[in-house]
Amino acid sequence: MSVASQSETRNVDRILAFTRDAIESQVRDQAFNDSPLVSALCGKMLGDFGARKGMTSKRTQTGAESIVVRANLGKNTSVKNKSGPWDTNNTTPSDTVRYSRAEWKFYSIPVVVSDHDLRVNVGPEALSSLLTHETENAMRSLADKIGDHLYNNSGAASAVSDLDSIISANDTIQGLSGSTYPTWNSRGLSPRGTAPASVSFAGGSFAVTGLQNWRIAYNNASEGATTPDAAFTTWDLYGYYEGALQPQERFTNTTLADGGFVNLAFKKAPIFPDDKCTSGSTLFLNWNALEFVVLAGADFSMGEWVRVENQSARVMQIETTANLVVKSRKFLNKVTGQTA
């Protein structure tokens, strides 16, 4: 996105901004939204931007040409109800695990400085200020793009898998088909046991069915003590929910308050409004069912400074190789198409 030019008698450009001029040392960012989903999935790889206490689903994998997830899609039928202590044991092995595979996705962004930038930013403070801002801006821009793709990648094969595709039914994700393996599906708002082809996630007017649909979606993503850890929604839907509560019900999830987010909760799950969330959608996530996997050595890793050919400049690439993987779709759910 381009930024409009600035008109003033003494223009503060990228050179003056990093000299020891009498300006505030830290740039006040106007361009980025602090996405709670990026914070949760990316963990601490972005320092203060990414760190959120008590919510993370990120893992670093060392090596391997792809990410392999073993999914147990059925019960072990080899259990035997023995007639007595001397009855024979069943030795038939179980064959209920299937392998799903997610390919690595590649992201990079350049940090570029000219020789002139380096000449005018003399001294360790000025040089550090220049490189710190340029690097931070690049990292946040990279994370911002990944955050967009985490919600909806618009079908881009080169992008990380998105939650819109992962939380679904009767389709294929990571090489496993929901139509072939009925337990490899999210349950949506349909009664448990509904055929995968008939599972529906469509909501409607929040004023009429909003809370009811949220209850169904939450319960359908729950089994026993396993329940959604967090819900992500739009600011509009967050406001509709807040307005629907009685004053005495407007409690916050205080366990995350020291992590930077203060939230309303739905049942036990904190609700995070996110500007990046798909319009009309609410997602119920379980951190044990979902994982953002990054390749060791490419975890927002900074490369070497390289001279740009035929230019008085140097460039450094920041790279991330990662993908979002699902381990159990039935513990993830969503409501779509919600309106006022």
Q: Are 168 and 174 in contact (CB under 8 A)?
A: no
Burial class (CB in 10 A: 0-12, 13-18, 19+), 114: middle
* Residue 121 pLDDT: 83
pLDDT at 22: 43
Q: Return the closest-CA partner of residue 151 out of 161, 142, 136.
A: 161
Please say if the pLDDT value at position 281 is more than 60: yes
Element (H, E) at 244: helix 235-244
Residue whose tokens read 């929910």: 241
In the prediction, which pLDDT does 211 show? 94
The token duo for 142 is 């990279």
Two tokens at 93?
């092995």
| Residue 119 DSSP class | H
- Stretch 168-187: mean pLDDT, rounded? 97
pLDDT score at 231: 93
For residue 48, the model assigns a pLDDT of 40
Task: Kindly list the distances between the CA atom of residue 332 and the CA atoms of 8, 130, 163, in Å, as whole numbers in the listed order.
Answer: 52, 43, 9
Integer Cα distance of 303 and 317 in angstroms: 5
Strands 306-307 and 290-302: unpaired
Question: What's the rounded mean pLDDT across residues 3-21?
Answer: 53
* Range 83-109 average pLDDT: 93
Q: Which residues contact 190 (CB under 8 A, 6 or more apart)?
A: 198, 199, 200, 220
Strand pairing class (282-285; 265-266): unpaired
pLDDT at 52: 40
Locate 227 and state its tokens: 């329940």
Which pLDDT does position 252 carry in this prediction?
A: 54
For residue 108, give both structure tokens. 């990079």
The 10s digit of each residue's pLDDT in 129-147 is 788 888 888 888 998 999 9
Between 166 and 56, the more confident residue is: 166
Residue 77 has a pLDDT of: 85
Reading the block at residue 1, the tokens are: 């996105």
Q: Domains of the chain, with CATH numbers?
A: 36-75+95-340 (3.90.1690)
pTM reported for the whole predicted model? 0.84
Model confidence at 47, pLDDT cuts 50, 70, 90, reads very low
| Contact between 45 and 294 (Cβ < 8 Å) | yes
